[in-house]
Amino acid sequence: MNSHNENKLRVSVFGAGYVGLVTAACLAERGHHVTAVDKHQDVIAMLSDGVIHIYEPGLQELISSNLDAGRLRFTDDAAEALTGADIVFICVGTPTKRDGSPDLSQVEEVARTIAVTCTHRVLVVEKSTVPVKTASWIKRTFNLFSSEPDLYEIASNPEFLREGSALSDFMHPDRIVIGVESEWAEQKLRQLYADIEATVLVTDVKTAEIIKHASNSFLAMKISFINMIADLCDKTGADISLVATGMGLDKRIGESFLNAGLGYGGSCFPKDVNAFINIAERHGVDFSLLSETARINDHRIDVILEKIYNALWVAKDKTIAILGLAFKPDTDDIRHAPSISLIERLLGEEARLHLYDPKAATRVAALYPESPSVKYFETPYQALTGAHLVVVVTEWQEIVTLDLDRSRKLMATPVMVDGRNVFDPTTVRLAGFQYYGMGTSDEPE
């Protein structure tokens, strides 16, 4: 018998990674009873003590308070997590295979586990980003492995969380997309999100699956588009920031995701664009627009290296400070971070690197341990000391608010390559630096 408030649901979340943890914590905060399950026992043991293995602002506190309130628990036992569940979320990873297609083995494993373990009616919801028609495969898995496959109904409810602002994105979304096959499933998901104010778009399952890939790919395309224009600004002396402002003032275009720079990284855009291209190929549809999006993005690293070589002539034996290692601010995530390609390429040139990041340094140090060529620092100013050039890679608050006077005095030669266009070129030049931006005209007229 349910002893809890009847408007609140019992939810199990498979996968205690980034998406799963945020989903679990936020649904618990909204009063639902949530069990998150993961097969990594060490992760579950830490989480049960309220210690989380990723950095996301506010998440640690939200998990601790909901553990204390008894609305959230963690387990490595799938059967325990499924007991009495109204809704099961699939939040496991969908990494990229060598051929660019998504590896859905973890999704299939969850489907199999449900099929052999769950003996009551339940709504199974895809939250991980998956290719269109994944729900049909999950259904086939239920049919293969369960003696009562009709107990399970499948829905798609993609997440649109950004790392660094995931909690507020969950609580205040632009939209909630619900892909369902029945009125029953729609009502269950509406009940789940009843306390969250947002436009709810109800679709069939395949449409919801495509909405997620199409949204991320469109945003990635916007970034590559503005980066393409940035290259033209570089060659002609125009100012990309003002071009973006001028474009963004048109409501049909919108101002967001028009920041030119080092391009997109992270665990989502690079993976999702490639997966979407792969899906289209498999269905015989020409997605070369997205292939170009990916190609332009891959090329950003060459653009910034050209600026570095243009400034230093020779990088060998020069000290280069890299400020920011995470793929974006407010996260410790370095997956597909431009900093990694930059480090690799500059070490290939025998440069000496001074690295700084407030959260991601430990992760980078696991790939590039401290050595005569690679040093890590606690503050940006320490990293700048003795440097011949500084590259701004991630726009952390403490980096964009650098004291330029102090910085110039610390550096051997004050040269800045601003990979995110976060500094005003005139201000930096007035502070005594040589300044190179991404599409901001490298030399003053």
Enumerate the active-site residues.
268
Closest contact distance (angstroms) between CB of 397 and ligand UGA is: 15
Put the strands of the sheet holding 175-179 in their side by side order: 72-75, 33-37, 10-14, 87-90, 122-126, 152-156, 175-179, 199-203
Q: Which stretch binds ligand UGA (CB under 6 A): 39-47, 49-57, 176-184, 258-266?
A: 258-266
Residue choice 328, 352, 354, 388 for contact with ligand UGA (CB under 6 A): 328
Closest contact distance (angstroms) between CB of 179 and ligand UGA is: 16
For the chain, what is the radius of gyration of the CA atoms?
A: 24
Total residues contacting ligand UGA by CB under 6 A comes to: 21
How many Cα atoms are found within 13 Å in the side-chain-facing hemisphere of 364? 33
Q: If binding is defined by CB under 6 A, does position 243 make contact with ligand UGA?
A: no
Closest contact distance (angstroms) between CB of 241 and ligand UGA is: 11
Q: If binding is defined by CB under 6 A, does position 327 make contact with ligand UGA?
A: yes
Closer Cβ to ligand UGA, 173 or 414, answer by number = 173
Q: Write out the H or E segment, with its range, that includes residue 375.
A: strand 374-376
Q: If binding is defined by CB under 6 A, does position 263 make contact with ligand UGA?
A: yes
Q: Say how far apart CA 287 and CA 304 lie, in whole Å.
A: 27
Question: In angstroms, what CA-CA distances link 24 with 80, 126, 158, 336?
Answer: 16, 14, 14, 26
Q: How many residues does the chain have?
A: 445
Residue choice 55, 74, 269, 435 for contact with ligand UGA (CB under 6 A): 269
Vertex 275 angle, CA 274 and 277, to 5° = 65
Q: Which of residues 163-182 bind ligand UGA (CB under 6 A)?
A: 163
Closest contact distance (angstroms) between CB of 184 and ligand UGA is: 27
CB of 353 closer than 8 Å to CB of 320: yes
Closest contact distance (angstroms) between CB of 41 and ligand UGA is: 26
Residue choice 15, 93, 265, 414 for contact with ligand UGA (CB under 6 A): 265
Q: Which stretch binds ligand UGA (CB under 6 A): 43-51, 252-260, 279-287, 437-445?
A: 252-260
Closest contact distance (angstroms) between CB of 69 and ligand UGA is: 27
How many Cα atoms are found within 13 Å in the side-chain-facing hemisphere of 283? 11
Q: Which of residues 330-369 bind ligand UGA (CB under 6 A)?
A: none
Q: Which stretch binds ligand UGA (CB under 6 A): 117-125, 259-267, 317-325, 378-386?
A: 259-267
Where does 205-268 have alpha helices with state H? Answer: 205-236, 240-248
Q: If binding is defined by CB under 6 A, does position 261 make contact with ligand UGA?
A: yes
Q: Which stretch binds ligand UGA (CB under 6 A): 215-223, 287-295, 361-369, 383-391?
A: 215-223
Q: Kindly tell me the burial class for residue 54, based on how many C-beta atoms sit within 10 Å of its own C-beta (0-12, 13-18, 19 or more).
A: middle
Residue with tokens 């990723």: 54
Q: If binding is defined by CB under 6 A, does position 257 make contact with ligand UGA?
A: yes
Residue with tokens 């909690």: 167
Binding site for ligand UGA (CB under 6 A): 129, 159-163, 216, 219, 223, 257-259, 261, 263-266, 268-269, 327-328
